[in-house]
Amino acid sequence: MKLSIVTTLYRSALDIDEFHRRAMQAAEAIANDIEMVIVNDGSPDNSLDLALALQRADPRIVIVDLARNFGHHKALMTGLAHAAGDLIFLIDSDLEEQPEDLEQLYQRFRQGDCDVVYGILESRRGGLVQKLPGALFFRFLEALSDHPIPRNVFTARLMTRDYVRALLRHRDREFSIAHLWQVTGFRQQPIALKKLSLSPTSYTLRRRVEMAIRDITTTSSRLLYLIFYVGISIFGLSIAVILYFLGRYFTSGIGVDGFTSQIVSIWFLGGLITFILGILGIYMANILAETKRRPLTSVRRVYRADGAADTGPNSRVNTLRQGTSAEP
């Protein structure tokens, strides 16, 4: 069995040596054939140089150097595309997620009833003020997402080759990787793990709200259908009010004053416009989902211990496209 460890680098110079030592030590306890795929996500410090120094001492390391910073989730997907193991251990390199958790993930995986074992926080860090934004974030996602993600999920997970291959077939260009983890399906089991708090979180309430809005608008159609149903409800209510006043006029001779007729007209037109915009929004969402074809990431170079480098405009690593060249 071959085990791949996949991680990313961004301002990771202080942690990369210890992460490599601890992750390899944990992996050697369960597998003999190991590789570590490290994706440099345009890190502005000397993380790449330190990783290359590690590779000279440990040929099991594969380094994927991205052309610029593409973001954490896209870098993770790029790393998964270069992993060749039968099992893939995905983890962040900041040491807040502990490499030694691989043993717990593997023991749960060995029960044979799952394709993915992933970690969830036993409890969110911080007090009420720190926990409240996270709780609001997940409630917002649950209310509007087509596929709600598990609460308090984080990166550390152990996955089979078949699951990763299916995950890489997704063609989304703007996405939340936690959403893709869920919609890929397969048998997934959570286990409670601890996540250390080595640095203040950068996910403020404003950033969480922005992330939730981005995730919903790129992964969910529920909001569009909500607008559609609100529009049709207002439209239907205005029709009912119009019929009521017309019926009252013809049966009792009671007329309608100007103010009431203006309000009913506004309701009618507003509901009709919202109804039409809802339909157009649904069609545009479907069109948008079908036309996203930009490369997920651009790879400057892949460093391997044998000195070979995958480069060139037609290379699998130069332009990573999910569902086609993303598959190893």
For 182-231, what is each residue's pLDDT tens digit? 888 889 999 998 887 655 555 556 666 666 666 777 667 777 777 778 87
Position 248 scores a pLDDT of: 80
Q: How confident is the model at residue 48 (pLDDT cuts 50, 70, 90)?
A: very high
Q: How confident is the model at residue 158 (pLDDT cuts 50, 70, 90)?
A: very high
Q: How confident is the model at residue 153 (pLDDT cuts 50, 70, 90)?
A: confident
Contacts 24+ apart (CB under 8 A), 313-318: 317/64, 317/82
Summarize the confidence of residues 95-105 as an average pLDDT: 93
Position 327 scores a pLDDT of: 37
Tell me the one-letter amino acid at 260: T
Give me the DSSP letters along 189-214: EEEEE-B---S-----HHHHHHHHHH
Looking at domain 2-220+295-320, its CATH superfamily turns out to be Spore Coat Polysaccharide Biosynthesis Protein SpsA; Chain A (3.90.550.10)
Q: Is the pLDDT of residue 241 over 70?
A: yes
Position 35 scores a pLDDT of: 96
**What are the φ and ψ backbone dihedral angles of 28, each rounded to 5 degrees?**
-65, -20
- Domain range summary for the chain, segments of one domain joined by +: 2-220+295-320, 222-291
Q: How confident is the model at residue 255 (pLDDT cuts 50, 70, 90)?
A: low
Which residues are within 8 A (CB) of 80 and not within 5 positions of it... i.e. 6 or more apart? 6, 88, 90, 164, 167, 168
Name which residue leads in pLDDT, 282 or 9: 9
Name which residue leads in pLDDT, 66 or 173: 66
Task: Count CB neighbours of 119 within 10 A.
Answer: 24
Position 230 scores a pLDDT of: 80
Q: Report the C-alpha gap between 167 and 327 in whole angstroms.
A: 9
Position 296 scores a pLDDT of: 59
